[in-house]
Amino acid sequence: MTYTSSTVRVPEVAAVPRHIAIIMDGNGRWATQRRLPRVAGHTRGVDAVRAAVEACARRGVEYLTLFAFSSENWRRPNEEVSFLMRLFVTALEREIGKLHANGIRLRVVGDLERFDEKIRDLIRRAETKTARNTRLTLTIAANYGGRWDIMQATRKLVEQAAAAGKPVEVNEDAFAEHLSMAYAPEPDLFIRTGGERRVSNFLLWQLAYTEFYFTDTFWPDFDADALGHAIASYAERERRFGRTSAQLEPQSQNADSLPC
């Protein structure tokens, strides 16, 4: 398990985020602005996904997590939901070979029960094929909700206790082990495109100490340069995790280790 809780231990930080999580928002408005049907924005959004994956791999980002479909997106018109499902299947079928050739490991998180067997099978095959790749882990959150994730982890803890026939210890590490992204560190940088400033039920537990970056750019226009701006903004942040600025200065760390 790569996951370590930022509230249990202070994580190491570097200028390049290890894990970037993105809410890819604004596809519909991108299309409407061009007098195109909303779904044309989703199609163009796939190109932006490709660009983001390439740029992250080039910059040495280890984990990229993309919110593709939320547990609340079923509330959209049926035609848009079916279009998004078809687009997910075609994009996965088309891109998986290239992802694999580029050393990218694919994971899909979310409540997959609600998807057709055909989609679930495709996901399983893609995950198995790329399982041993180490360059970048690309996670697609599909029918994902932060509350669902917390609920399913809780359910697993309770089941574990029932199977053991005795209460299990409940602490942050034991709980987080059951979260759907237990294989990844918490996101260092959260990006939301499309102008809204909200979390929309994305990684609620894991965003506890994540740096937030909001941009008005619609997702289909979010390119490698735009990602570069987000990473540059991240590099300027002071991540204190509850400590003071003075505690972060190298001399104060040295002072701690000097004999009195």
Give the interface with Mg ion as residue ranges (CB under 5 A): 25
Q: Which H/E stretch holds residue 19? A: strand 19-23
Using alpha carbons, select from 174, 168, 150 the residue that is nearest to residue 8: 174
Which residue in the shown chain puts its C-beta closest to ligand IPE? Answer: 28
The answer to whether 25 is a known catalytic residue is: yes
- Concerning whether 73 is annotated as a catalytic residue, the answer is yes
84 makes contact, choosing from ligand IPE, Mg ion, none, with CB < 5 to 8 Å by partner type, with ligand IPE
CA distances from 173 to 1, 149, 161 (A): 10, 15, 16
Residue 186 near which of Mg ion, ligand IPE, none (CB within 5-8 Å, type-dependent): none
Q: Is 72 one of the annotated binding-site residues?
A: yes
Is position 135 annotated in a ligand binding site? no
Is 143 labelled as part of a ligand binding site?
no
d(CA 22, CA 256): 38
For ligand IPE, the closer of residues 53 and 84 by Cβ is 84
Task: Give residues with Cβ within 8 angstroms of 255, minimum separation 6.
Answer: none
Work out what residue 62 binds among Mg ion, ligand IPE, none; the CB cut-off runs from 5 to 8 Å by kind: none
Contact 182, 153 (CB under 8 A): no
Nearer to ligand IPE, 5 or 144 (CB): 144
Catalytic residue among 47, 73, 201, 225: 73
- Say how far apart CA 65 and CA 51 lie, in whole Å: 14
Residue 83's Cα: distance from chain center in Å? 22
List interacting residues with ligand IPE (CB under 6 A).
Answer: 23-29, 67-70, 73, 84, 194, 196, 198, 200
**Of the two residues 166 and 197, which places its CB atom closer to ligand IPE in the complex?**
197
- Give 168-182 as a DSSP string: PP--HHHHHTTSTTT
Q: In terms of CB distance, is 70 or 137 closer to ligand IPE?
A: 70
Tokens of 176: 């987080």
Q: Could you give the CA distance from residue 5 to residue 9 in angstroms, rounded to a whole number?
A: 6
Binding site members for substrate:
26-30, 38, 42, 70-72, 74, 76, 192, 198-200
Binding site members:
25-30, 38, 42, 70-72, 74, 76, 192, 198-200, 211
Catalytic residues: 25, 73
Binding site members for Mg(2+):
25, 211
